[in-house]
């Protein structure tokens, strides 16, 4: 994972902002994209916020394309194709902050029942994927900040998957992952 590189966050955030800016007709100039690590397969989520409120979030759970393409695609999708929000406008761009989450490989979580699964979750560390049949949802580790209790976290995850918060079945599958994350507000704003 390229997360150990000194300027990884700055590069990924610049790439994401450039992808959104270009789509809005506000070219930022070229961002260096020739580093070999950007060509390695990677899975990322791009989260957009305005005044600390969610404005879009789209990502990839499995690494299946280059990290460069993944970040660009997810940035564009978070800005313009998140069904929960209208497409981002050029007027909103300066008030929009970007966060990049680079995902580790997915790890299946073996458990005997819901209580056992909840006991194994690591608040603030684990991102979780919930699966039951066609129902699927995920929360990044950052969601623990709003839902610090494992039971509440799981209830919201089930609801996001389209199930009752108290739903459980022996066919439920859980996986977990960690992230390296960077926020523009922490590194310094990249002006569009």
In whole angstroms, give the CA distance from residue 135 to residue 131: 6
Token pair of 176, please?
């977990």
| Average pLDDT taken over every residue of the chain | 93
Q: Compute CA distances 112 → 66, 118, 158, 171, 173, whole Å.
A: 36, 11, 18, 11, 11
What's the average model confidence in pLDDT over 70-99? 97
What's the average model confidence in pLDDT over 35-42? 95
More confident residue, 189 or 163: 163
pLDDT digits (tens, 9 = 90+) for 109-125: 999 999 999 999 999 99
- Using 50, 70 and 90 to split pLDDT, how confident is the model at 6? low
Q: What pLDDT score does 27 carry? A: 80
What's the average model confidence in pLDDT over 171-183? 97
In whole angstroms, give the CA distance from residue 44 to residue 75: 10
Do residues 79 and 23 touch, judged by C-beta distance below 8 A? yes
Residue 96 dihedral angles phi and psi, to the nearest 5°: -105, 125
- Using 50, 70 and 90 to split pLDDT, how confident is the model at 188? low
More confident residue, 119 or 30: 119
Q: What pLDDT score does 30 carry? A: 72
Q: What pLDDT score does 1 carry? A: 46
pLDDT surpassing 70 at residue 155: yes
Q: What is the torsion angle, in degrees rounded to the nearest 10, for the CA atoms of residue 24, residue 26, residue 32 and residue 38?
A: -10
Share of the chain above pLDDT 70, in %: 94
What's the average model confidence in pLDDT over 161-190? 91
Closest among 11, 35, 12 to 102, alpha carbons compared: 12
């Amino acid at each position: 994972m390229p997360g150990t590189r000194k300027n990884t966050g700055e590069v990924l955030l610049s790439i994401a902002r450039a992808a959104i800016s270009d789509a809005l007709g506000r070219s930022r100039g070229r961002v260096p994209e020739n580093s070999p690590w950007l060509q390695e397969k990677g899975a990322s989520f791009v989260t957009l916020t305005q005044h600390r409120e969610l404005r879009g979030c789209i990502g990839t759970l499995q690494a299946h394309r280059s990290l460069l393409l993944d970040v660009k695609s997810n940035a564009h999708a978070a800005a313009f194709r998140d069904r929960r929000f209208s497409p981002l406008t050029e007027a909103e761009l300066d008030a929009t902050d970007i966060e990049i989450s680079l995902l580790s490989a997915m790890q299946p979580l073996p458990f005997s029942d819901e209580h056992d699964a909840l006991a194994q979750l690591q608040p603030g560390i684990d991102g979780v994927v919930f699966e039951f049949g066609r129902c699927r949802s995920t929360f990044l580790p950052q969601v623990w900040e709003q839902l610090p209790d494992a039971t509440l976290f799981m209830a919201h995850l089930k609801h996001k998957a389209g199930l009752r918060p108290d739903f459980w079945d022996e066919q439920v599958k859980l996986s977990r992952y960690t992230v390296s994350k960077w926020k523009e507000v922490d590194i310094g704003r990249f002006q569009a």
